[in-house]
Amino acid sequence: MGEVQIRSKYKKGGAVSYGFAFEIANVGGKRKWFTKYGFKSKKEAKQAGEVAQQNYENFGQVVSKDEISYSDFIDYWLENDCAIDLKPVTVSKYEKMSNLLLKPNLGKYKLKSITKEILQTFLTEMYDKGYSYNSLTVIKGLLTKSFNFAVDNHYVNYSPALRLKIPKNRIPKVPTRSAPHTYIPKEYMEKIFERFPENSSSYLPLKLAYECGLRLGEVFALCWEDVDFVNKVIRINRQVQWYEDKERKLEEIIKKNGTAECGNGFWYFAPPKYKSYRVVEISDELANILTNARDRQLKARDYYGIFYKNYYAANPLYFDGTKPERECGINKISDDDSGYHINLICIRENGTYVSPRTMQHVSRVIKKEIFPDFDFHSLRHTHASMLLEAGAEQKYIQTRLGHSNLKITIDVYEHTTENLRSRGRAVVNKLYN
C-alpha cells in the first residue's frame, strides 16, 4: 500500500485548502491517483486520506457505502455519472446548486439515513424561504437523479426522493424571490445614452437591448453576419455563456487576463435561451447606427494592423438556421487562430471583446448617477412595455423577445407601465360612459 500524500492549493482570497492523494489501480498501464481537497489542516487531510485509502483497499471504494455522507456522495455522483453523460456547463450548474443548497442542508446526513420526510421538509423550507417554483423544480430534480444513481449502484435499497411535492397552495413565510420588472422612462434613457454616447464601447450593447429587447447573452453573441442591412433585421442565432474551468493553472489565468478567456474560464457560444432562434426587425435609425459602427470597425482594423485583436470560434458559426448552435457543443471563443474567424459586433476600437461582465460596471454607474433601479434586463422589460403601449399584439411581442410561451409575456409585462393602465381605463370609460 502506497503512502498517502498531503497536498495544498490556494483558493480565491488566498485561503489554503489541504487535500490528500493516494495511488489506485492502474488503467491502461498508466498510474492513477485519487485526490480530494477541502480540509482545513494537514492533520485533518491525512486522517481522511488514511480512512479513504483503507476503504479502497478493503472494499474497492474510497468511502464505504454504509458510512458515506450525502455530501461526499454528491461529489461521487457528479464525477462518475453527471460528468460522463452531461455537458460540462450542465455539470458546473449542478455543482453550484449542490454547493449552495444541497450540501449545507443535507450534506451532514449519512446517505443511508436520509428519509423522504427529511427531503420533503427541506423542499418545504426552501419554499418558505422564498425560492421560486422553477428553482425548487431544479432542486427536486437533483435529489431525484442523485438518489436514482444511489439505488442503481446499491448504496441504498430505495429512493427517498420518489414523489416529493413542491408546495403550491401553501403561503410562503418569505415572498417568492423574483427580479423586479422595472420600466425605464424615456427621459432616463436619454440621460443613459448621454452618459454612454455612440463612441462608447457600452453604447451598442445598451442600444441593442433597449431597441430590440435582446437578452444580455444574445447581445454579446452578435456578429456582423447576423445583421441583414437590406431587410433591416437581426437574426438571433446564439448567446454567449461563461464556462468556469476549475483546472486552469495560475500561469494561464495571468496570461489570459483581459481576454475572452480571462480569469478561470472562457466565453463560449450556445443556443439562445429556450432555443428561441428568431428574426428581429430593427428601425431605420438603428440600422444607420450599426452601419456607422461597422464602418468605424473596418477603419480601426486597418489603423491597428497586426495589433488589432482577432477572435475565433472552435466550431464554425451558422447564420441561416441550417445548423443550430446546439449541434456544435461548447463553441469556445478564443484568440487561437486555428479556429474559425468571427466578426463580433461588441468590441472596442482595437478589437478586444466587450464581454457581458462590463455591463456590471455600467449598471453600477447608471444606478448611482441616473436611475437607482436600473439593471441590464430592465432594458428588455422596457422594450416590451413600449411595444404594448404602442398597440403591438402580444403574440408578436412573445415571438420578438423569444419567450417560451405567451403567458410569460402577459404575466411579466402587462402591468409594467402606468401608460398602459391609463389606456385601459380610457377604453372602459369609452365603452360604458
Percent of the chain with pLDDT over 70: 82
| Segment 154-159 long-range contacts (CB within 8 Å, at least 24 positions apart) | 154/65, 155/65, 155/68, 155/73, 155/111, 155/112, 156/111, 156/112
pLDDT of residue 162: 94
Examine the pLDDT at 39 and tell me if it is beyond 60.
Answer: yes
pLDDT of residue 135: 85
Tell me how far apart the alpha carbons of residues 298 and 214 are, in angstroms, rounded to a whole number: 25
The 8-class DSSP code of residue 99 comes to I
Tell me how far apart the alpha carbons of residues 266 and 400 are, in angstroms, rounded to a whole number: 29
Q: What is the mean pLDDT of residues 112-128?
A: 93
The 8-class DSSP code of residue 326 comes to G
Considering only residues 192 and 328, tell me which one the structure prediction assigns the higher pLDDT: 192
pLDDT of residue 8: 85
Per the prediction, the chain carries an average pLDDT of: 85
Q: What is the mean pLDDT of residues 285-305?
A: 97
Sign of CA dihedral 335, 341, 347, 349: positive
pLDDT of residue 205: 98
Provide the 10 A C-beta neighbour count for residue 360. 11
Where residue 299 falls among pLDDT bands split at 50, 70, 90?
A: very high
The DSSP bridge partners found for residue 24 are 32
> What pTM, to 2 d.p., does this model score?
0.68
Percent of the chain with pLDDT over 90: 48
Amino acid, single-letter form, for residue 208:
L
Tell me how far apart the alpha carbons of residues 390 and 413 are, in angstroms, rounded to a whole number: 13
Residue with cell 455522483: 77
Ramachandran sector of residue 348 (left: φ over 0; alpha: ψ -120 to 50; beta: rest)? beta
Considering only residues 74 and 61, tell me which one the structure prediction assigns the higher pLDDT: 74
Where residue 432 falls among pLDDT bands split at 50, 70, 90?
A: confident
